[in-house]
Amino acid sequence: MKRTTIQGRHIIAAGEVGAYTVCPESWRLRAVQKLKGESSIESREGIRLHAQWAKNYDDSVELVRLIRILLCLTLLAALVYVWL
């Protein structure tokens, strides 16, 4: 859905650009014709899978952060051991 600034320029949200890129017809039906899609079993499953993917992604980011901390602490311990 486009928005208009005070100067009369149109602003399109990044999510709308992404939705248009994925499926222009779906974007047209929602943005231009103002139709809402039915909540099908497939769409509910897609929402569930997306939530699971986001959780897995967050977990992997946290795991990488913890591994980096562990490696830094191991390196620091090795340096202290060699120095002493």
Q: Tell me: the pLDDT tens digits for 6-50?
A: 777 877 778 788 888 888 888 888 877 777 766 678 778 888 888
How do residues 35-44 score in pLDDT, each as one tens digit? 776 667 877 8
32, 44: one domain: no
Residue type, 58: D
**Token match 């051991």: residue?**
81
**Based on the domain organization, do 21 and 5 belong to the same domain?**
yes
**Whether residue 50 is found in the same domain as residue 76:** yes
Model confidence at 70: pLDDT above 90: yes
- Helix ranges restricted to H, 1-84: 14-22, 24-31, 41-83
Instruction: Pick the more confident residue, 73 or 12.
Output: 73
Q: State whether 22 and 58 are in the same domain.
A: no
25 and 57 together in one domain? no
Domain coverage including residue 78: 39-84
Higher-confidence residue of 51 and 63: namely 63
Same-domain status, 59 and 83? yes
Q: What is the pTM of this model?
A: 0.49
33 and 66 co-located in one domain: no
